[in-house]
Amino acid sequence: MSPKNEGLRQRAADLRLHGVLAHWSELSDADWLPRLIDWEEQARAQRSLDRRLSGARIGRFKALADFDWAWPKQCDRAAIEALMTLEFMAQSVNVVLRGNNGVGKSMLAKNVAHQALVQGYTVRFTTAGEMLGELAAMDSDAGLRRRLRHYVNPDLLVIDEIGYLSYSNRHADLLFELVNRRYESKSTIVTTNKAFADWGEVFPNAACVVSLIDRLVHHSEVIGIEGESYRLKEAQERAADSTSKRKRAKS
């Protein structure tokens, strides 16, 4: 068998095209066979991406190409663009995006998450409040173990908005358990509006906060973003544009 035909046969086997394989001697030289295998691979890749996109729950987001890099007072563009290569995932490195409300942390995290999905990884995006509330509501150990796996298993987990609410010791313990299970094996992205020194306000009286931060940042890249709210900027621009249109309409 020629190397070309052997390559096609392996692709057909990977696709589990059993009917084609059963009649390989009759079909291997057909000029339409490579196209058939190409179409099947493309269709399956698209279905896989659609499933993973649906499961990731990223939601809508602005593309990185539309990000106004000139707006933040401080934002390491090179570090953000390096995240898009996904090299940090190959090294099981965590990422912490820290900054004030509205500076683009969630948008940047969603872009990285989407890139990971396109490259074939599994991803889960959640807010801290949603995830911790869900885990804390589990009324049995078996249910909790199953739900923890839901967040432990993805190649990339994005936990958005740590710091916007305060949580009980129970919530802190659950977050520590999750981070600990993913420690040094899978990457986690966290967005927060709090410096680590202020996480005691997020998890007041929780004994595990120091250990939680230690696990999270041991193998991590912390990227700070400083500036005024980009959402507020956009709202002001829309208001100014509406005012301008009304004035022109009256004139």
**Based on the domain organization, do 9 and 116 belong to the same domain?**
no
Amino acid at 184: E
**Based on the domain organization, do 70 and 7 belong to the same domain?**
no
**Based on the domain organization, do 141 and 209 belong to the same domain?**
yes
Which phi and psi (to 5°) does residue 95 adopt?
Answer: -130, 130
In sequence order, which residues have a C-beta less than 8 Å from that of residue 199 and are 6 or more positions away? 162, 163, 209, 212, 213
83: domain CATH number is 3.40.50.300
57 located within any domain: no
* Cα separation, 53 vs 5, whole angstroms: 34
**Based on the domain organization, do 226 and 166 belong to the same domain?**
yes
Q: Of 237, 239, 219, whose CA–CA distance to 228 is shortest?
A: 237
* Cα separation, 100 vs 83, whole angstroms: 20
State the burial class of residue 79 (Cβ atoms within 10 Å of its Cβ: 0-12, 13-18, 19+): middle
Full domain range(s) for residue 123: 64-232
Q: Of 212, 225, 208, whose CA–CA distance to 80 is shortest?
A: 225
240 located within any domain: no
Q: What is the pLDDT of residue 175?
A: 97
pLDDT tens per residue across all 251 residues of the chain: 566 688 898 989 988 899 988 889 888 888 899 899 899 888 888 888 878 787 788 988 899 999 989 888 899 999 999 999 999 999 999 999 999 988 999 999 999 999 999 999 999 999 999 999 999 999 999 999 999 999 999 999 999 999 999 999 999 999 999 999 999 999 999 999 999 999 999 999 899 999 999 999 999 999 999 988 877 767 777 777 777 677 777 76
Q: What is the pLDDT of residue 1?
A: 56
**Based on the domain organization, do 27 and 71 belong to the same domain?**
no
Q: How many domains does the chain have?
A: 2
State the burial class of residue 227 (Cβ atoms within 10 Å of its Cβ: 0-12, 13-18, 19+): middle
